[in-house]
Amino acid sequence: MTTDISEFRYGNETIEERIYFSPIKDLHNNTITAFAIGDHPTTELVMEPLRKLIELRPSLEYRMTIHSDQGVQYQTTQWRKTLKKHHIFQSMSRRGTCLDNAPMESFFHLMKTELYYNRKFETKEELIEAMIEWIDYYNNERIQHNLKGKTPIEYRNLALEKVA
């Protein structure tokens, strides 16, 4: 698993506002398993998808690692204690080395290229709705070459069939 925070802007010429997006990506099948969108890049913003991920986690039998950058949100006691309590290992990029979290940076680039850069979002609601729709498209419809021409959900389901 990998995670990070990215900023998205909306508004018009006079007022430009920001929201922040915090997803958790499964590196096995590239699904965005959980995410949060908020007004500020706070610890709570990263905790929300972590709690969702923990709820979805099928078993403690399998080792899970979450990789992030060294953002202050990922160094808080709350984040670290929650990981430890649920037997999730923490991995962090080297300071100032965004390439250590390349899969998440690549996801943000893809999302912004396909959804965001060619459009102007006037309202927060419009931007959030478009983001949620695009994540659903990414997980369920967008085929990926590195997943053997499958969508992330199709690839995950194939892997689950082999385990069952």
The CA distance from 154 to 164, in Å, is 15
Residue range 2-99+111-163 forms a domain whose CATH class is: alpha beta
Give the pLDDT band of residue 160 (cuts 50, 70, 90).
confident
Q: pLDDT, tens digit, for every residue of 112-149?
A: 999 999 899 999 999 999 999 999 999 999 999 999 99
163 or 68, which is more confident: 68
Query: How is residue 48 written in tokens?
Result: 């929300």
Helices in 64-147 by DSSP H: which ranges?
Answer: 77-85, 102-111, 124-140
Across residues 145-154, what is the average pLDDT?
94
Average pLDDT of the chain to the nearest whole number: 92
Report pLDDT for 69.
92
Q: pLDDT, tens digit, for every residue of 16-66?
A: 999 999 999 999 999 999 999 999 999 999 999 999 999 988 666 678 999
| Number of other CB atoms surrounding residue 6 within 10 Å | 18
All structural domains of the chain with their residue ranges? 2-99+111-163
Where b means 16+ CB within 10 Å and e means fewer, 12-51 reads eeeeeeebbbbbbbbeebbbbbbbbbeeebbbebbbbbbe
| Contact between 31 and 139 (Cβ < 8 Å) | yes
